[in-house]
A and B are shown apart, each in its own frame.
Chain A
Amino acid sequence: MDNSLLAIDMALILEKLVLIVVVVFASLGIAMYATYGERKVAAFMQDRRGPNRAGPFGILQPMADGLKLFFKEEIIPNFSNKILFVMGPCLAMLTAIMTSAVIPWGNHIEIFGRSVSLQIADVNIGMLYIFGVLSLGVYGIMIGAWASNNKFSLFGGLRAASQIISYELAMGISFIALLMVTGSLSLKDMVLQQQTGHWWNVVYQPLGFLIFLICAFAECNRTPFDLPEAENELIGGYHTEYSSMKLGFYLFAEYINMFISSAVMATLFFGGYDFPFVDESTLSPNFAALLGIVALMGKIIGFIFLFMWVRWTIPRFRYDQLMYLGWRILIPLALFNMLATGAAVLYFHK
């Protein structure tokens, strides 16, 4: 008896381990190709061709970029705090990847008669976990910025911190409104709800989605909210002093963050792995899971494209405009959205 219990646990651990490895490498791979995509999108929007020399259509470009970063000289400034200086990028990378644990990448699949869930951890407070880790992400930037002992870096770090605080509020409040509609914090439940019967949440929460989207841009430090970096006023902001692969980590973390934010938005508002107009319950579970993964990836890529599209369209905000937008517009709007949603839920369900 004892033995079989242990055996099942071993299989569970093994399957989770495999899933973690797959998800981490998938995030890294997608982040890698997001850099390529970014350059291509930028080029196309500016009537250029973009990288097209390394391999056919330049698809080996990310490898070349990575290799280049590895071969660059590693400089740790004398006047910096060495331990924190190294810790900064590691933390940024760690928190970026950690978020992927609670996202349901698809429904379960059947292998050897076992039903394997395609979610690393179905925590019932999944969304709180994401918010928690997301706000940890700024520590990577702040620690790196402070440890560099450079005015520009410090400015970048301060900006990042205050920006994240300001926009996390609006993001959280817009999420509360969503919570009222779904009634669950677990991401899996949300997807199931949107899959069966309900429409996608974006139909119920268009304003909430808009606020969430804007805040997601701010949380990822993407243009028009890339003030922590602001290369033309802060010469790179928090990563001014960084070189070689540590710089690579920071840049990479940004792309992973973008990937994860896209996944979160797709899950919360666009039905996650729900393939539109297909009833998954009639299909075989493995095929349904595959379809689900394809659907989710499609949505994520759509969001990543949106991130890039906005970046190459809109110029950066001024800092006071950023704060004005966050505190004077988004938070009241989110509050209003929350109240309106609450009233509507009360009216329709009671």
Chain B
Amino acid sequence: MQALTHRAKQVNRSPMNFWERLYLPAIFQGMSITLRHFFKRKVTYNFPEQQRSFSPVFRGLHILNRDAEGRENCTACGLCAVACPAEAISMEAAERQPGEEHLYREEKYAARYEINMLRCIFCGLCEEACPKDAIYLSETFAPSDYERKQFIYSKQDLLIPHPINEPEEYKKALGNRAKPEDKS
């Protein structure tokens, strides 16, 4: 029979000889393996103190983006909510009033924007769907909590810090992925 992959290995089905039937040699062999692992370097990260770095394509918690002047990008078009396979996003739109131009980039904005982190599967489709470059998946993952309702993240939880008023937090939240200047 032809093997399907080159990893196929012929199993030796010949009856065990006396040495093998003693079992003890095989047991000692196994014990030597476990002993070798005893002295091996441990692969565990001591989590809170030590954090592993994620790859640049890691999809973590969402952030709602602002542009360079600190205005919210989102225009509440709802495309992300439509794209979301887990139906985790809900929002309410509102019209920008005169005098609010420094807050919202578009004429329409999301007055309420919620993502249910317990529903979200972190697929990143919202990020792909967004025409305004307004939503990104960051490199942090959801912290644990005691109550379910804490996992419904409101706009306040999602919005990236203001780039002018809080430049340091903004940089940190931005990480090395979202580059608002790239697209308009």
Q: Name A's B-contacting residues (CB within 8 A).
A: 41, 44-49, 52, 309-310, 312-314
Asked whether, in the complex, the Cβ of A313 is within 8 Å of the Cβ of B30, the reply is yes
Decide yes or no whether B4 CB sits under 8 A from chain A. no
Cβ of B44 and Cβ of A313 under 8 Å apart? no
Q: Is the CB of A309 within 8 A of B35?
A: yes
Taking the closest CB of chain B, its distance from the CB of A43, in whole angstroms, is 8
Interface of A is mostly: loop
**A48-B42 contact in complex given A310-B31, A313-B30, A314-B30, C-beta closer than 8 Å:** yes
Tell which of B30, B31, B35, B43 touches A47, judged by Cβ atoms closer than 8 Å.
B43
Contact between B42 and A49, CB atoms less than 8 A apart: yes
Proximity string of chain B (14-51) to chain A, C-beta cutoff 8 Å, 1 when within and 0 when not: 00000000000001001101110110111110100000
**Cα distance, A324 to B21, chains bound together (Å):** 13
B27, A45: Cβ atoms under 8 Å? no
A45-B37, A46-B37 known; A309 and B42 CB under 8 Å?
Answer: no
Report the interface size class on chain B.
10 to 19
Least Cβ–Cβ distance between A115 and chain B, in angstroms: 43
Given known A45-B38, A46-B37, contact A313–B31 (CB-CB < 8 A): yes
Can you give 20 A-B contacts (C-beta < 8 A)?
A: A44-B37, A44-B38, A44-B42, A45-B37, A45-B38, A47-B37, A47-B40, A47-B41, A47-B42, A47-B43, A48-B42, A48-B44, A49-B42, A309-B31, A309-B34, A310-B27, A310-B31, A313-B30, A314-B27, A314-B30
Q: A312–B34 contact, CB under 8 A?
A: yes
Residues of B within 8 A of A310 (CB): 27, 31
Q: Is the CB of B44 within 8 A of A49?
A: yes
- What residues of chain B lie closer than 8 Å to A41, measured between beta carbons? 38
* Cβ–Cβ < 8 Å partners of A44 in chain B: 37-38, 42
Residues of chain A within 8 A (CB-CB) of B46 are: 49, 52
Q: Is the interface of B mostly helix, strand, loop or mixed?
A: helix
Q: Could you say which residues of chain B place their CB within 8 Å of the CB of A47?
A: 37, 40-44
Please, which residue of chain A has its CB at the minimum distance from the CB of B26? A314
What is the bound-complex CA distance between A43 and B54, given in angstroms?
25
Alpha-carbon distance A260/B47, docked complex (angstroms): 38
Contacting residues, chain A, for B44 (C-beta < 8 A): 47-49
- Docked complex: B43-90 residues within 8 A CB-CB of A: 43-44, 46
Select which of B27, B40, B41, B42 is within 8 A of A313 by beta carbon.
B27
* Listed residue (A41, A44, A310) with the most chain B CB atoms within 10 angstroms of its CB: A44
CA distance A310 to B26 in the complex (A): 12
**Cα A46 to Cα B41 with chains together (Å):** 11
Across the interface, which residues of A come within 8 angstroms of B42, CB to CB? 44, 47-49
Give CA–CA (A309, B46) in the complex, Å. 25
Nearest residue (CB) in B for A214 is B24
Q: How close is A12's CB to chain B, nearest CB, in angstroms?
A: 46
A49 to B45, CA, bound (A): 9
**Distance between Cα atoms of A143 and B68 in the complex (Å):** 75
- Alpha-carbon gap, A310 to B23, bound state (A): 14
Taking the nearest CB of chain A, how far is it from the CB of B123, in angstroms?
Answer: 31
Docked Cα-Cα span, A313 to B27, in Å, equals 8
Whole-angstrom distance between the Cβ of B77 and the nearest chain A Cβ: 47
A313 touches B43 (CB 8 A): no
A310, B43: Cα distance in complex, Å: 23
- Bound-state CA distance A309–B41 (Å) is 18
Q: Once bound together, how far apart are the Cα atoms of A45 and B33, in whole Å? A: 9
Residues of A within 8 A of B35 (CB): 45, 309
Q: How far is the CA of A41 from the CA of B24 in the complex (A)?
A: 22
Specify the chain A residue showing the minimal Cβ separation from B41.
A47
Other than the given A47-B44, A309-B35, A313-B31, 4 more pairs (CB < 8 A) read A45-B35, A47-B40, A49-B46, A314-B27
> Which residues of chain B have C-beta atoms less than 8 A from A45's C-beta?
34-35, 37-38
Contact of B34 among A48, A49, A52, A313 (CB under 8 A): A313
